[in-house]
Structure 1
């Protein structure tokens, strides 16, 4: 039986991903996926994508809004753009997407099946069934608008799809994994992301098997017209409806506030990462540190990317922490440091390319960086979260900081603008 991984609240946010960030997300998403496949295989990448906590952390380390539903669309889009040119090499295909792209998923799967020798029609049916279960068998008030099907050349797959409740300004993300899947209608999910909305109808709960069979029996015995008349009579009498208790899943709460706060981050983990970058970096990357543009700040980002590649599920309970690697497009917790981002991609890409040629040193140095972070977090200490973020904003201009509001100005200009705004408020 497919395992459940948890749930989370995902606030809806308007806006778009600027091209300068989308292009970098494409490159970083692809090279992180390559590193995972190199170390752990294709099936492990599918397991990561089917884990709600890891998926949110992955989006945060890529510079997206750390808590919002927009991570789903942007990450899936980045992976589709980044992995499609590598599909033959990696044996991984990303299909579907948002809106009209979701409806093209069955056709894409049939085409891929013809190319690599899979039963494309069976995959297409799986895609339709997954979408139908989350839109009909689970009636939770969310309308599906995104469906992505990631399949490997040996027929394993993961699905990430998302529904929206416009009135509540909330989204719910659903994760599926073919590994261990025995039934499409008996607890098939690896996890469901979304805010709790009270009691819902979940016909995929194992305890609903009798209900599913009873519905089939009713349809056979009475026919659809008779069932409609019976339901109308029940509604007229206002008969109470017996509700079924839902199984509780581990729940990741994504708050409505856009800014990243100290309570959103497990500081001992962040301090461990920063300490590892300072301690292991010079030992493992002596030549790298001599390259112009690569320094202590890039190593901090690389340490967090290394955790995304190597971390176990329990490491991703605080996705906000991963926004420290490359900031956020809306300037939360700080503008995206483009120079750091580009160096992160360059270093990781170099490590992966050399590993393909049999030279594993750089890629395993990143693994040691992550191992050291886990050891050091037991004892490491450092500045408070607010102090760390304040420092990042002061140095943002020097790292090529950019957000949807434009390039980050020098700190003196920021201070002057802040004083002018304060004088304006005082005058008003």
Structure 2
């Protein structure tokens, strides 16, 4: 299971230092074992699964439902991945740190022997996907890229202040060219305009054709489509088209800003629907305008289904060492410390070579000593 969405409650605050030390320690030992046993590609793959990510989050003691878990977990893994020889790296972050992906990709490219420009394009298209093609009311404020030589994942998060919720998105390079990228979705169903859904494929193709006809043509068709909205009610007052569409279509108006955005996209000369993820000028308003024209004039609409398919189980995997906020019980420091020792036995039973086994045990021993000293 790879790719998907998880909804979280919008929380503030910070992790106390004494708990953060344990979370870092648990993260290090768990990922150490995974890299030894399965390799870095498997770690990156599992981070693309929203359910596995939540289980990992709970195992190290973060709250099951906190919006801060995304930044904390990936912040820890970012720090460790650049310090250790795990052969995968975490880029980006929260707020202004999201913008560091481009420069960090340069260094990551040298370490992992991958093309920095491809990493940046992957990052950019992922952000575009969940801010413009999928419009679900959440504004992105967290963006991480996790890279190994063979597998890439983007984990990003949006905020809905009105609903007091955050939504985490997991996207993997294996889903490119973004065929049904939002699978395995767990959360609270809301409203959305989704131009990335499989049913919106024709609408996306028409959007590319419209862009290549030039801004003037699009603006003319937009006026026709807007006029058509007035005739979309039956005598009973019901809308002929999906009522959910009206929320996204009625605010769309011809403007100089929209025309300039369409001009930028036209100059890019997109040739396929995937180009909508990288062409300049393709923001939420542009997508809504193109969707309105495609829907009312050509008969092909985006999806208006929020890509949430199953409820979130709040307590799955939440009983390992407790939670920072005391749910399902207060963080158990002694148990967290003991986990390091228990992991030694797991390493002994792992099917790895004696040399690798000895190295893993040595690292775990040093880590256990550091945790006992509180360093």
TM-score normalised by the chain length of structure 2: 0.69
Q: 1:22 aligns with which of 10, 20, 23?
A: 20
The yes-or-no answer on 1:158 pairing with 2:158 is: no
Structure 1 residues 190 and 95: alpha-carbon distance in aligned structure 2, compared to 1, 3 A threshold: farther
Cα deviation for residue 21 of structure 1 reads 1.7
- Which residue of structure 1 lines up, in the alignment, with residue 93 of structure 2? 97
CA distance in 2, matches of 1:363, 1:250: 40
- 1:81 corresponds in structure 2 to 79
Match of 1:183 among 173, 177, 186: 177
Cα offset, 1:218, TM superposition: 2.3
Cα distance in 2, alignment partners of residues 150 and 189 from structure 1: 18
Q: CA deviation at 1:338?
A: 1.4
List structure 1 runs of 4+ shifted beyond 6 angstroms: 353-356, 361-364
Q: Tell me the distance in 2 between the aligned counterparts of 1:362 and 1:109.
A: 30
1:337 matched to which residue of 2?
A: 332
Query: Contact 2:57/2:64 (CA < 8 Å) preserved in 1?
Result: yes
1:113 is displaced (CA, Å) by: 0.9
Aligned to 1:217: 209
Partner Cα distance (1:222, 1:230) in 2: 16
CA displacement, residues 40-80 of structure 1 (integer Å, 9 cap, x when unaligned) = 22222122111111111111111111122222121111111
Provide the rounded CA distance (Å) in 2 between the counterparts of 1:252 and 1:52: 13
Cα RMSD (Å) of the superposition? 3.1
CA contact (8 A) 2:5 2:187 kept: yes
Render the CA deviation track for 1:219-256: whole Å, top value 9, x for unaligned. 33352433453454345667654453648664232xxx
Match of 1:252 among 303, 308, 311: 311
Q: Distance in 1 between matches of 2:193 and 2:54?
A: 26
Answer yes or no: is 1:195 the counterpart of 2:212. no
1:12-58: CA deviations, max 9, x gaps? 22222122222221221122112112222222212211111111111
CA contact (8 A) 1:10 1:67 kept: yes
* Separation of aligned partners in 1, 2:31 and 2:130: 27
Structure 1 pair 126–84 and aligned structure 2 pair: CA distance change class (3 A): same
**Offset from partner CA, 1:96-147 (integer Å, 9 cap, x none):** 1111111111221122113432111111111000001110000111111111
Partner Cα separation in structure 2 for residue 77 and residue 349 of structure 1: 25
Q: Structure 2 regions of 5+ residues with no counterpart?
A: 234-238, 246-302, 362-371
Task: Tell me the equivalent position of 1:132.
Answer: 128
Cα pair 1:61 1:325 within 8 Å, conserved: yes
Matches of 1:134 and 1:248, distance apart in 2? 12
CA distance in 1, matches of 2:26, 2:157: 23
Higher relative contact order (CA 8 A, sep 6+): 2
Equivalent position SS for 1:60: helix
109, 123, 130: which one pairs with 2:105?
A: 109
Matched, 1:64 2:123: no
* 1:35 to 1:319, Cα distance in 2 relative to 1, 3 A: farther
Aligned-partner SS, 2:318: helix
Quick check: 1:226 aligned with 2:220?
A: yes
Greater Cα shift, 243-252 or 218-227: 243-252
TM-score, normalising length: structure 1: 0.61
Kept after mapping to 1: 8 A contact 2:188/2:311 = no
Residues 335-356 of structure 1: CA deviation (Å, up to 9, x unaligned): 2121221222354368659968
Q: Name the count of aligned residue pairs.
A: 293
1:319-365, Cα deviation, whole Å (9 max, x unpaired):
6243322111112222212122122235436865996853759999x
Please say if residues 94 and 142 of structure 2, whose CA atoms lie closer than 8 Å, have aligned partners that are also in contact. Answer: yes
Residues of 2 paired with 1:201 and 1:209: CA distance? 13
* CA distance, structure 2, for counterparts of residue 62 and residue 37 of structure 1: 17
CA–CA distance in structure 1, aligned partners of residues 89 and 334 of structure 2: 30
2:255 corresponds to which residue? none
Matched, 1:208 2:174: no
Q: Which runs of 5+ in 1 are unaligned?
A: 254-317, 365-399, 401-428
